């Protein structure tokens, strides 16, 4: 576990190579099964309706969605109306290892990046509580991750996230701005058609 210092904020950890290749393959199969039940959808920005370059789905009791009306968590898939599939056991185990003080995760957002997709600088702040960290897993092609401070214009640092890497944004860094500048084509053989999957585990509601 590496603690990364950024703008004096404590709570950003980087765990390179957390999942070995066999675990990445097993996790990928579980995510494919989830996405077969809860298909990827193309979210759009509130108000403008501009599509994200990333496609999304979720697992867990709550899923994050973005449409013309805003960002929110909801218990069912926006197109099928079905509940989201369960969070894979190995992701619940990851949470136990890195976020054991927090109540169980309720949402796992699945982000799928095809070539050219990116994610602008943002804060994860649609949850009702920020006590629990956000835990992220990268699969597939390497991405350039940028993280800054609590203000959009604070200085940022970049580092590369490879397949199997885990990032934890907790403590003072829970609301740090972050984003994905680019995904580096051809850097992983995990996904046969290339691209990148990012999984983010979050607690949405206060503890029961
Ligand atoms: C991504 N990650 O890696 C986007 N959010 O594709 C995130 O937005 C993120 O990596 C909260 C905590 C960790 C993250
Ligand atoms: Fe985020």
Low-confidence ranges of the chain (pLDDT < 50): none
- Going by alpha carbons, the residue nearest to atom 3 of ligand 1 is 198
CA of 178 to the centre of ligand 1 (A): 7
Q: Which atom of ligand 1 is nearest to the CA of 54?
A: 6
Beta bridge partners of 145: 159, 180
Could you tell me if 148 and 177 are in contact, meaning their C-beta atoms sit under 8 angstroms apart?
Answer: yes
Q: Ligand 2 is a single-atom ion; what residues have CB below 5 A from it?
A: 124
Q: Nearest CA to 55 among 105, 119, 107, 142?
A: 119
24 CB near ligand 1 (under 6 Å): no
pLDDT tens-digit readout, 170-181:
999 999 999 999
| pTM: predicted TM-score of the whole model, two decimal places | 0.96
Q: What is the pLDDT of residue 162?
A: 98
Tens of pLDDT, residue by residue over 108-157, are 999 999 989 999 999 999 999 999 999 999 999 999 999 999 999 999 99
In the chain, % of residues over pLDDT 90? 95
Residues whose CB falls within 8 Å of the CB of residue 208, separated by 6 or more in sequence, listed in order: 103
**Which superfamily does CATH assign the domain made up of 2-40+55-202 to?**
Alpha-ketoglutarate-dependent dioxygenase AlkB-like (2.60.120.590)
Residue 100 is predicted with a pLDDT of 87
What pLDDT is attached to residue 5?
85
Q: What confidence score (pLDDT) does residue 143 get?
A: 98
Q: Which residues, 6+ apart, have CB-to-CB distance to 182 below 8 Å?
A: 118, 143, 144
């Amino acid at each position: 576990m590496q603690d990364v210092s950024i703008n004096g904020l404590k709570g950003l950890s980087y765990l390179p190579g957390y999942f070995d290749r066999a675990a990445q393959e097993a996790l990928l199969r579980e995510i494919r099964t989830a996405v077969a039940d809860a298909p990827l959808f193309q979210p759009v920005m509130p108000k403008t309706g501009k599509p994200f370059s990333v496609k999304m789905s979720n697992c867990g009791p709550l899923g994050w969605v973005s449409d013309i009306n805003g960002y929110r968590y909801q218990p069912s898939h926006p197109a099928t109306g079905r509940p989201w599939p369960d969070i894979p056991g190995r992701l619940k185990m990851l949470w136990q290892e890195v976020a054991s003080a927090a109540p169980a995760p309720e949402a796992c957002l699945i982000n799928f990046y095809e070539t050219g997709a990116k994610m602008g600088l943002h804060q994860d702040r649609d949850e009702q509580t920020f006590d629990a960290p956000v835990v992220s897993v990268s699969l597939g092609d390497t991405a350039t991750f940028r993280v800054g401070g609590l203000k959009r214009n604070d200085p940022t640092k970049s580092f590369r996230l490879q397949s199997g890497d885990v990032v934890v944004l907790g403590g003072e860094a829970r609301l740090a701005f972050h984003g994905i500048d680019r995904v580096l084509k051809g850097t992983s053989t995990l996904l046969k058609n290339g691209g990148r999957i990012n999984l983010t585990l979050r607690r949405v509601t206060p503890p029961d």
